[in-house]
Amino acid sequence: RILLTTVLNLQRESIKGIAITVQDITREVELNEAKSQFISNISHELRTPLFNIKTYIETLHDYGEDLAVEERQEFLATVNNETDRLTRLVNDVLDLSKLESGRTYSFNGVDLAQALEQTLRTYQLNAKDKGIQLVQEVTPNLPLVMGNYDLLLQVFGNLIGNALKFTPAGGKVAIRAYQLDPQPIISGSAADNNNTKQEHYFNSVSYDNNYHEQVRIEISDTGIGIAPEDQQAIFDRFFRVENRVHTLEGTGLGLSIVRNIMERHHSQVHLVSEVGVGTTFWFDLTIVNDEISSVAADRIED
């Protein structure tokens, strides 16, 4: 009987082993499919501005002398815009692939007021041009949060850029940052398999404390809003809500980058939105605790 049980157990184990292998292969197939889908999307997105640039340049080359000065100026402006679009696209694709390559980023105490101020300065002129009020309500003396300054600037920039893009003139875009009441740690929530250096910081937070403190950042607009059925998909690469007059500005990659960066910060982006009323994106960042930062300091360095 012992022999039979052992044989049965061994068989069970090997069945389990096969199940795990099948799962691994399925995941690999899914990843490969996602990769080729991504490459085919990129090729499509790159081809459009390239085609436009080539067409306008050829026309200028072949028939430039027959065109009026204004027409020539218009053609050159289009070539310029399409080149900008191409640059944005290439930059976004490079950013995304860097984020997905699993490279480690250095995490330090970030002064949110400074980062938000810097972002606001960049977008203030754009808001003014569009007749949109851009305001910030940041609680004074906010504690430092654990993060990568440049990546966070990118998140703020992408979200504020979108808010301005999808809000009509006369609207308002507001950025808020405030400290939340301490949250109890849900065991294991901060840990995952990825053994990067910043992970140690978040893990040590959960091991050494019963709670962690966070700052919430909200970016809200009084824009066109996002329908419930699109609210998940907008985070997918190249997804852009249909039936909208899209300016040349977008790449459809901005929110994928935001989601990815927030994952790196062990956080998630959330949104609430109502069509015709507006949208609020929000996420939380973990406050640097003196005790923890000294414990983790040597582990966080790049």
Q: Which residues bind ligand ADP (CB under 6 A)?
A: 158, 162-163, 166, 221, 223-224, 226, 234, 239-241, 244, 250-256, 279
Residue 151 or 226 having the CB closest to ligand ADP: 226
Minimum gap (Å) between residue 248 Cβ and ligand ADP? 10
Residue among 27 and 44 whose Cβ is closer to ligand ADP: 44
3-state SS assignment for residue 174: strand
Count Cβ atoms below 10 Å from residue 33 Cβ, excluding itself: 10
Q: How far is the CB of 165 from ligand ADP (least distance, A)?
A: 6
Q: Which is nearer to ligand ADP, 147 or 254 (CB)?
A: 254
Using CA atoms, how far apart are residues 13 and 135, in angstroms rounded to an integer?
60
Please, which residue, 47 or 246, has the CB nearer to ligand ADP? 246
User: In whole angstroms, how far apart are CA 269 and each of 170, 218, 263, 266, 283?
Assistant: 27, 10, 9, 10, 5
Q: In angstroms, what is the minimal distance from the CB of 204 to ligand ADP?
A: 33
Name the 3-class secondary structure at 110.
strand
Output the smallest distance, CB 295 to ligand ADP, in A. Answer: 37
Q: At closest approach, how far in Å is the CB of 223 from ligand ADP?
A: 5
What single DSSP character describes residue 1?
A: -
Task: Copy the structure tokens of residue 66.
Answer: 């027959």
User: Which of residues 207 and 235 has its CB atom nearest to ligand ADP in the complex?
Assistant: 235
Q: Which helix (H) or strand (E) holds 197?
A: helix 197-208
Rg (CA), the chain: 24
Task: Considering the complex, state which of residue 171 and residue 286 has its C-beta at the smaller distance from ligand ADP.
Answer: 171
Q: Which residues contact 94 (CB under 8 A, 6 or more apart)?
A: none
Sign of CA dihedral 245, 247, 251, 254: negative
What's the closest the beta carbon of residue 224 comes to ligand ADP, in angstroms? 5
